[in-house]
Structure 1
Amino acid sequence: MILLEPQHVARLRANSEARKAAQAHDLAEPDFVPVVKLFNPVGAATWLATELDDDGDTLFGLADLGFGCPELGSFSLLEIESVHLPYGLKIERDIGFEGLVPLSAWADAARLAGSIIDAQFLIHEIAARSSGPDIPPDQGG
């Protein structure tokens, strides 16, 4: 599976440029909604990415390696792509992922819940409350 499709790269790069522009003008940095979710299909590691640097490798977002302490920071797309898992599997992109809320809300929820995976349920509840009764929370996983 291709982890980042061209539309993902475009959104991640646009977010990176918007952050740089805000910094250059001494403005508050934007709190982007995550663009992609990458995950280990046989483990707990999960990454939410909001930005991609000029190098085409360095992503910024929320990383959770499954130890109960999700962290904001940078991570390497090339390193994630190079991970070889049991049964010939590799890290995958959640094709149904919707960020719904800014990264700071994801980070708060993940720290409270102990993981990005468990935070997803909290995020869907938050989004459902803020969107009103028209959008039911995701009943899947």
Structure 2
Amino acid sequence: MKLMTETLKVRFAEIGSQGEEENPLIIARFFNPCGPQTWYATEYDPETRICFGYVTGMGFDEWGSFSIDELETLKLPFGLTIERDCYFEEIRFNDLNE
């Protein structure tokens, strides 16, 4: 699955940096279909293909950077790959767990 679409690239560019935002907008969600890992992207750099966002399911939850290229190359059991949540609607971070 292509994780970063042209539509998402445009949306990330529209929003820009959210580094000073206390309650950033989560624009995209990527997930492991056979595990607990989820990547919530708030920013994207098209030159490096690096996202910044909130990552859960890896021992402890944290804010940080993650590579779209790395996510696309991960090989999971049963031939599965990391997926983009096609039905995800943008949400503020503070509203994520509601």
TM-score band w.r.t. shorter chain: 0.7 to 0.9
- 2-structure distance, mates of 1:40, 1:61: 16
Q: What are the within-5 Å matches in structure 2 for residues 1-141 of structure 1? A: 1-16=1-16, 19=17, 29-30=20-21, 31-67=23-59, 69-101=60-92, 103=93, 105=94, 122-123=97-98
In our comparison, the structure showing a higher alpha carbon Rg is: 1
Q: TM-score, normalised by structure 1?
A: 0.61
Cα separation, 1, equivalents of 2:24 and 2:11: 10
Q: 1:9 to 1:56 in 2, by over 3 A?
A: farther
Where relative contact order (Cα < 8 A, 6+ residues apart) is larger, the structure is 2
Distance 2:4 2:87 in 1: 14
Indicate conservation of the 8 Å contact 2:29/2:41, yes or no: yes
The runs of at least 4 consecutive aligned structure 1 residues that moved more than 6 Å come to none
Unaligned runs of 5+ in 2: none
Measured after TM superposition, the shift of residue 2 of structure 1 is 1.3
Deviation by residue 1:49-79 (Cα, 9 ceiling, x = unmatched): 0111142411011012432x21111111111
Instruction: Give the drift of 1:81.
Output: 0.7
**Partner Cα distance (2:62, 2:11) in 1:** 22
**Structure 1 segments unaligned to the other structure (5+ residues):** 24-28, 107-119, 124-141
Measured in 1, the distance between the counterparts of 2:66 and 2:57 equals 11
Aligned residues: CA RMSD = 2.1
- Please identify which structure carries the higher helix content: 1
* Paired residue type of 1:6: E
Q: Secondary structure at the match of 2:78?
A: helix
